[in-house]
């Protein structure tokens, strides 16, 4: 791929980050579990020793760079654990989770991360760089989950076109409002300082979104929370999710197919923003074939 195609991205240099590793530890404190439970609108927080809320690992061991080490978008500056991709816009494009032993309130958790792949492509909005990170999460009970995290970087051009609103909008399984308070709470829980989630002038005038952006992990967490509620007694072994179009502040509709094999998130007009496929323990599944 030429420099003209990638916007002068030196992909060979960036691929030098493949294999970069990092290990971090954190504790699922009762306060953290209570905060996530409250953000998910649960009336009761799990007690010490009980199973923690869905996807609480995304609240653990976040980067805690000092203010002078942040970039203009609020993220930590490039070139540490992640490669220094020169494209200015970045977002969480999706990923996959494979579950082992559940994480519980009070657990000390170890997270081992590795840059697995770096690739460049050209999309409708110009140059794109995809970075794949693998995370291994373990607790006192052993392996808790394996995660593939897909991050996409793009230039300052227009966002990719969003899908058209469907003619027939189905009734959601669950509905909520993603207002600035919800986005603030989740940003605080995950120590996420990306300005698209709380700085409306920046989100709309600089990055070109229609409003404040709902976090990709928050959308995935809401789907996992819904799956856990509807599938009592079943064990989830794999959850794969992919962002389809940006979701901005306002109505959020969660949908599920019978059997909870597929879930998706839509905005108030019915436009799909994220889809997820689920595999349960009573289905045919080979963990060794699922994640790189």
Burial class for 188, CB neighbours closer than 10 Å (0-12, 13-18, 19+): middle
> Which pLDDT score, from 0 to 100, does residue 155 have?
87
Q: Which residues of the chain have pLDDT under 50?
A: 1-6, 160-161, 285, 287-290, 292
Pairing, β 21-27 against β 174-178: unpaired
Determine phi and psi for 88, rounding to 5 degrees.
-80, -20
Residue 78: per-residue pLDDT: 74
Per the structure, how many domains does the chain have? Answer: 1
Q: Which domain holds residue 268?
A: 3-289
Rounded CA-CA distance 151/83 in Å is 11
- pTM of model > 0.85: yes
CATH (domain of 243): 3.10.129.10
Would you state the pLDDT for residue 50? 97
């Amino acid at each position: 791929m030429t420099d003209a195609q990638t916007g002068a991205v030196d992909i060979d240099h960036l691929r030098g980050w493949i294999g970069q590793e990092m290990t971090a530890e954190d504790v699922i404190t009762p306060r953290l579990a209570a905060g996530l439970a409250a953000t998910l609108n649960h009336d009761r927080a799990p007690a010490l020793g009980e199973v923690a809320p869905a996807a609480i690992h995304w609240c653990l061991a976040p980067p805690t760079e000092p203010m002078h080490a942040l970039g203009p978008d609020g993220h930590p500056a490039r070139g540490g654990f992640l490669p220094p991709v020169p494209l200015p816009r970045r977002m969480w494009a999706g990923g996959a989770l494979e579950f082992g032993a559940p994480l519980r309130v009070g657990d000390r958790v170890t997270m081992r991360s590795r840059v697995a792949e770096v690739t460049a492509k050209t999309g409708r909005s110009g140059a794109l760089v995809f970075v794949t990170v693998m995370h291994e999460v373990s607790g006192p009970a052993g392996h808790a989950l394996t995660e593939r995290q897909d991050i996409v970087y793009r230039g300052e051009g227009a966002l990719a076109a969003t899908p058209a609103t469907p003619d027939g909008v189905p009734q959601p399984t669950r509905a909520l409002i993603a207002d600035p308070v919800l986005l603030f709470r989740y940003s605080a829980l995950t120590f996420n300082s990306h300005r698209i989630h709380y700085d409306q002038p920046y989100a709309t005038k600089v990055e070109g979104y229609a409003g404040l952006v709902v976090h990709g992990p928050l959308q995935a967490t809401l789907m996992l929370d819904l799956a856990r509620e509807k599938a009592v007694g079943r064990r989830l072994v794999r959850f794969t999710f992919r962002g389809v179009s940006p979701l901005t502040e306002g109505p959020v509709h969660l949908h599920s197919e019978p059997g909870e094999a597929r879930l998706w998130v839509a905005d108030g007009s019915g436009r799909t923003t994220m889809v997820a496929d689920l595999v349960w323990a009573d289905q045919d599944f080979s963990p060794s074939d699922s994640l790189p």
